[in-house]
Amino acid sequence: MSEMVTLTIDGVEVKAPAGSTVLEAAKLAGIRIPTLCYLKGINEIGACRICVVDVGARSLQAACVYPVSEGLKVVTNSPKVREARKVTLELILSNHERTCLTCVRSGNCELQQLANELNVGEIRFDGERTDLPVDDLSPSVVRDPNKCVLCRRCISVCNNVQSVAAIGTADRGFKTVIASPFNMALKDTPCVNCGQCINVCPVGALREKSSIEKVWDALANPDLHVVVQTAPAVRVAIGEEFGLPIGTRCTGKMVAALKRLGFDKVFDTDTGADLTIMEEGNELIQRIKNGGKLPMITSCSPGWIKFCEHNYPDLLDNLSTCKSPQNMFGALLKSYYAEKMGIDPSKIFVVSVMPCTAKKFEIQRPELASTGYPDVDVSITTRELARMIKEAGIDFVNLPDEEFDDPMGEASGAGVIFGATGGVMEAALRTVVDKLTGRDNDNIEYKEVRGEEGIKVAEVTLPDGMTIRAAVAHGLGNARKLLDQVRNGEAQYHFIEIMACPGGCVNGGGQPIQPARVRNTIDIRTERAKGLYSEDEAMTIRKSHKNPRIQKIYEEFLGEPGSHKAHELLHTHYYARENYPEECSRI
């Protein structure tokens, strides 16, 4: 056990682990100290000074970084402390673009919440306002420096968690801004569009680039057959936008809401995930048997793919050639589905609902148009879908559960768990082990690859003595560590799964934003993943190759995994990217 120290907070004796902070000790005593820049495990720098407390020193101290000590006496609620917090908050607000009514974060803004909690009824300071250009050139992320409060959470997650370093501070004092190197537009940097910066931003300084109006326009166009596909992680997160507990499974209500929005067909991207496993599993088997490039690395995460193109071009041949489930499914909708339903593929408009902002970048890749049309026309986030449901006046919580549409609405439990870190690996192993052993194996839960450990390793020994070595990394900082080991010959694997976002798609950059007061106490990644694993457990079919819809698609259209037609429609290629092009746009 950790050594404990005894201190007093607001007259209450508290025992806290040595090395912990006053903020953490106060939480143990049931005392809430307000914060703004602090985010557990991401940003602990004491920059904003909202959390100041009186520890008997000459000046007030930031509770988020001040260490506890034996006999320390802390006051969190005094006229001096309350006034210091209010002054700090008012100074931040004096230079803030206070367009709250039209801000995408209205009602879910930590600055707004602080103003309410600290009883700020007026702003006593008339600060000089910054008027900086908004960077909206990226297909995924919009950066509005006029709403920035300089908390530096975005910098911490981009640099320390994702190891991308696409943004940082520039200038000093009042002129300090969060910017890209050389004030480039984000699109011209190594930004991978993961959107983790959006998820940690306490205000509206970072947001996804909205495609809502494009979807409304398509739905209103009588000449278009508009279909929608939903990623697995969306179903366990969208309920949060309507007040439901984190991780609530809302599959049926989500389908019902989409049908009421007017989509002609509502499909499940999990079917595309099953298809991915068929192709990716076959590719892995062929590489193992025929001496192909190993380790094979998954290609489902567009943020990871762009990261690889920028930072590990020497490993591009290790990437699976499979498209992501989103684009595989889109390609099938504009070929197999179009043919089966007798619809001109030029009239099929595919919308994807993704937990991911990088999908907005992915759908624009010119190589993802194997039918002659983009695989996917518009990709929206979980948050955007929630806004559409609210705009349409749909009572989401009280909707009846409805089913995905035929003929492509059935998926396996393996497809469902794609949304959690380790899910792609587990789904692949369920199929690959069956194919390699030639029998239906009962042990299908590979729990070694589950959980929130940054890098997970598993070994699966087959009856013939062959051992498949697998590794899983989530979050690009962890991916960098793992790939450096592979590159240097320190570790050898057959198969590696990498997801750009920490926790996988359940924590994607397009998921509902939970404020720091929630993220500091609950691991939202684990709670959402629980929902996916419970849905997998409840399903009759839990292996991709057992999905009768997938079997039928191969029988009627594709032939077999790895066939010429499958490669034509479902596989792609990637290429090395410069980190900072010589000719780049300024904002």
DSSP assignment of 29-43: TT-PPP-SS-BTTTB
Q: Assess whether 283 carries a catalytic annotation.
A: yes
Q: Which amino acid is present at 583?
A: E
Tokens of 569: 């429609």
Active site residue 90: no
Paired tokens of 75: 């006051």
Catalytic residue among 362, 410, 452, 535: 362
| 41 Cβ contact partners less than 8 Å away, ≥ 6 residues apart | none
Does residue 128 have an active-site annotation?
no
Torsion of CA 277, 317, 300, 312, to 10 degrees: 150
End-to-end CA distance of the chain: 53
Closest alpha carbon to 258 in 409, 422, 131, 128: 409
d(CA 424, CA 211): 28
Residue whose C-alpha is closest to residue 308's, from 574, 582, 584, 580:
574
Concerning whether 445 is annotated as a catalytic residue, the answer is: no
Task: Tell me the two tokens of residue 19.
Answer: 């090395």
Is 109 known to be catalytic?
no
Rounded distance between C-alpha atoms, residue 304 and residue 39, angstroms: 24
Which of the residues 240, 280, 410, 452 is marked catalytic? 280
296 strand-pairing partners: 495
Q: Which of 187, 359, 360, 543 is catalytic?
A: 359
Q: Residue 493's beta-bridge partner residues?
A: none
Name the DSSP letter for residue 536: H
Number of C-beta neighbours around residue 166 at 10 A: 24
Catalytic residue flag (residue 15): no
> Residue 379 and residue 550: Cα distance in Å, rounded?
24
Cβ burial of 67 (10 Å; 0-12, 13-18, 19+) is middle
Of the candidates 158, 250, 356, 505, the residue annotated as catalytic is: 505
Catalytic residue among 283, 426, 497, 535: 283
Catalytic residue among 140, 299, 320, 335: 320
DSSP state of 221: -
β-strands 12-17, 73-74: how paired?
unpaired
Catalytic, 359? Answer yes
Q: Exactly one of 70, 83, 339, 367 is catalytic; name it.
A: 367
Q: What HEC string does 388-427 produce?
A: HHHHCCCCHHHCCCCCCCCCCCCCCHHHHHHHCCCHHHHH
Backbone angles phi, psi at 14, to 5 degrees: -130, 140
Angle (deg, nearest 10), helices 269-290 and 325-332: 110
How many CA atoms, within 13 angstroms, populate the side-chain half-sphere of residue 355? 31
Q: How far apart are CA 169 and CA 47, in angstroms?
A: 13
The per-residue DSSP string of 349-391 comes to: EEEEEES-SHHHHHTT-TTS-TTSS-S-SEEEEHHHHHHHHHH
Please tell me what DSSP assigns to residue 67.
B
Q: In the annotation, is 94 catalytic?
A: no
Q: Is the peptide bond before 145 cis (omega within 30 degrees of 0)?
A: no
List 51, 151, 191, 300, catalytic entry: 300
What are the residue numbers of the active site?
280, 283, 300, 320, 359, 362, 367, 505
